[in-house]
């Protein structure tokens, strides 16, 4: 063993003063005769002394209760905000249900006023169409087909209007006629081209 250097395990056994095994006893004798192993053993002693000289670290005060309280408070605030938002949403829904229905829908006109409004709108649309003079305009086949379909539906509504006796039915038919006339004016104004016949 005097020719080889000691392993770290044997150096630690020598440092700790162990002599229970013959190999450890031989290691003590080797350290006495080997300068390199003695130097390594001195470094081990110095490291041990330096480690022992380090201040002992004590944990900071126990912060878990404070963290736990903060978490509980945050959760409480979150639930309060959710309940407040839920209350606001419920109040808004109630307001819309009670008041919003009246605000979203203007006061309905009575049937005679509705009839009068629909008839005047229909007359305005007819005057607009006559001023446009659609018979003097050229149009493609698809546009002509749409115009014919709209004119046929208007004629059908006019026939039903002659037979209608109830005021509510007349209002409904005149409103349908206004919709068809509006579509007819749109078709003539957007699809037809002027060829000055």
pLDDT tens profile 29-43: 888 899 998 898 899
Write down the mean pLDDT value for the chain: 81
List pLDDT tens digits, range 74-101. Answer: 999 888 888 878 777 777 777 676 665 5
Token digits of residue 32: 């006495």
Residue 30 burial (10 A CB sphere; 0-12, 13-18, 19+): buried
Amino acid 156: pLDDT: 94
User: What is the rounded average pLDDT of the residues 16-33?
Assistant: 87
Beta pairing class for 193-194 and 137-138: antiparallel
The neighbouring-strand residues paired with 193 are 138
Q: How far is CA 160 from CA 109, 121, 130, 152, 177, in A?
A: 23, 19, 23, 13, 11
Flag the least confident range among 3-12, 25-34, 188-197. Answer: 188-197
Is residue 44 pLDDT above 60, yes or no? yes
Does the pTM of the predicted model rise above 0.75?
Answer: no
């Amino acid at each position: 063993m005097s020719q080889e250097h000691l392993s770290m395990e044997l150096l630690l056994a020598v440092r700790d003063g162990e002599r229970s095994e013959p190999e450890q006893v031989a290691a003590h004798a080797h350290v006495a005769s080997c300068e390199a192993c003695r130097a390594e053993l001195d470094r081990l002693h110095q490291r041990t002394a330096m480690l022992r000289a380090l201040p002992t670290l004590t944990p900071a005060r126990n912060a878990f209760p404070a963290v736990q309280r903060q978490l509980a408070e945050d959760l409480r605030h979150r639930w309060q905000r959710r309940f407040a938002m839920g209350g606001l949403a419920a109040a808004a829904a109630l307001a819309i249900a009670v008041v919003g229905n009246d605000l979203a829908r203007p006061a309905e006109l009575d049937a005679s006023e509705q009839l009068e409004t629909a008839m005047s709108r229909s007359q305005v649309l007819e005057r607009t169409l006559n001023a446009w003079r659609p018979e003097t305009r050229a149009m493609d086949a698809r546009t002509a087909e749409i115009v014919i379909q709209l004119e046929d539906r208007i004629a059908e509504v006019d026939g039903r209007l002659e037979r209608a006796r109830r005021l509510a039915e007349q209002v409904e038919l005149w409103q349908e006629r206004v919709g068809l006339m509006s579509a007819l004016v749109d078709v003539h104004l957007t699809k037809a081209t002027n060829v000055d016949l």
